[in-house]
Amino acid sequence: KVPAQTTARQSSFVVSDIATASGSSMDRKVTAKNTTFKKWFFIFVSVISLSYAFYFMFNMPLERSLAVNKDNIAFGEVISGTYEDFISLRGRVTPARSIFLDIIEGGRVERVFVEDGINLKAGDLIAELSNTSLLIDVTRNEAIVAEQLNNMRSIELSLEQNRLLHKRNLIDINYQIKMFTRKLASELYLQDKNLIAANQVDDTHDTLTWYKDRLKVTLESQKTDARMQEQQLYFLKTTGQQLQQGLSISRKNLDSLNVKAPVDGKLSGFDIEVGQSIDRGERLGQIDTPDNYKLIANIDEFYLTRVDIGQGASYDSAGISYDLTIAKIYPQVINGQFRVDLKFVNKQPIDIRRGQTLHTKLTLSNASTAKLIPNGAYFQSTGGNWVFVVSADGQQAIKRNIRSGRRNDQFIEVLEGLEVGERVVISPYTTYQNMERLKLGS
């Protein structure tokens, strides 16, 4: 027999299981929430994002810009003024004429008579050198020349004797012709009288003919000998002159061992000692003409086509202007510069000295009216093709292409791209050369 509580518990379990089983057949299918809202929300956000992206893409400036402190840069204004086409030159004072003392033949220094920096007169003895080999060569050349000259004198004497021999032969032949002509005339007269044999007359006639033929040959020989003699004498005379010139050169080389001042002037670069060996062609020093100077200046290769010989320049000192002219242009370009020589015209300053630097002004063309902007370091970066132009409100400077013309140390001529009154940046463009816009702040 089962207790009543157990039976009741089991009955409840059964009822519960039945209810659970029957309840499962009564559950509803839960449907997922509608995703349409999320979909449209995502589309809306995407459209807004793209709109902002396109806005910033088309409205933000494309050029590169840089914020700079306007107190750290310099500005210049476009003006209308008189453009003086000149460039400033720094010329070094050098002697207008220098004579170099180069040794023709080397040798050993025997004596030194002067010191460096002394003023000399033409012909003053500077130093004495010795060269034993040169002395022996000169002596041998003198002997050879003397022998050759003696041989030529012998040839000339022989030719003169031959000429005299021809002359003597002609005199003798002419005499014989005259005598036999006279004899033949006498014999022909006697033959007409039958007082002389015919063979004797024939002998006289043949002898006379022989002398006449001999005269012709002698005259032809004399003419040929005279022509050959004239040519030979000319050759001997020319050879003799050449030998004399060669001997004179040898003696001159020997005499050059006594170094003398060729002109009046100041000796410089002279530094030799007794006993020192000097090679052939070595330079002992130079002599500079006194109180006569020129300027040597370097010019940027940009102006090579605008500089010519005879172009004028000026130098101002103590309120006095001195005129100069370009005397020589050296075409070699070294480190972007070429060199010119400038000579003073009419007068030169009395207080200048060798090695001094003078500031001169080289005029390239006549003055004219033009639009000008100050010259500055920015030209090295732009080449005069563009500048930063300050806006009207002064808040920014915008890059602008221009066309420039001539330039000097102070101004650059503007041909196109700028108007009078506009302001430009004239500071170096090194740090913002690739920028399109400068934002000017404080």
How confident is the model over 298-317, as pLDDT tens digits? 998 888 888 899 888 989 88
> How many whole angstroms separate alpha carbon 228 and alpha carbon 218?
15
Task: Determine the pLDDT at residue 35.
Answer: 60
79 phi, psi to nearest 5 deg: -125, 165
What's the pLDDT at 209? 93
pLDDT at 56: 54
pLDDT attached to residue 317: 86
- Stretches where the chain sits below pLDDT 70 are 1-35, 37-38, 52-63
- Strand pairing class (396-401; 403-407): unpaired
Between CA 167 and CA 434 the distance in angstroms is 105
- What local confidence, expressed as pLDDT, does residue 347 receive? 86
- pLDDT for res 224: 86
Q: In the 8-state DSSP scheme, what is residue 277?
A: E
Q: Check residue 86 and give its pLDDT.
A: 81
β-partners of residue 377 are none
The pLDDT assigned to 178 comes to 93
Angstrom CA distances, 111 to 124, 223, 272, 340, 375, stand at: 14, 62, 10, 40, 60
Long-range contacts of 112-119 (CB under 8 A, 24+ apart): 112/272, 112/273, 112/274, 114/267, 114/270, 115/270, 116/267, 116/268, 116/269, 116/270, 116/271, 116/285, 117/266, 117/267, 117/268, 118/266, 118/267, 119/264, 119/265, 119/266, 119/267, 119/290
pTM value is: 0.48
**Dist. CA 294–CA 108, nearest whole Å:** 36
Task: State the pLDDT at residue 442.
Answer: 76
pLDDT recorded at residue 67: 87
How far is it, in rounded angstroms, from Cα 369 to Cα 367? 7
13-69 pLDDT, tens per residue?
A: 433 443 444 444 444 554 445 567 667 777 777 777 777 666 655 555 456 888 888
* Strand order across the beta sheet in which 437-441 lies: 65-69, 437-441, 396-401, 386-390, 423-425, 75-77
Per-residue model confidence (pLDDT) at position 53: 63
| Residues near 319 by beta carbon (within 8 Å), at least 6 away in sequence | none
Q: Which residues of 122-153 are buried (b: 16+ CB within 10 A; e: fewer)?
A: eebebbbbebeebeeebeebeeebeeebeebe
Residue 152 one-letter amino acid: M
Using CA atoms, how far apart are residues 316 and 339, in angstroms rounded to an integer? 21
What pLDDT, on a 0 to 100 scale, did the predictor assign at position 241? 83
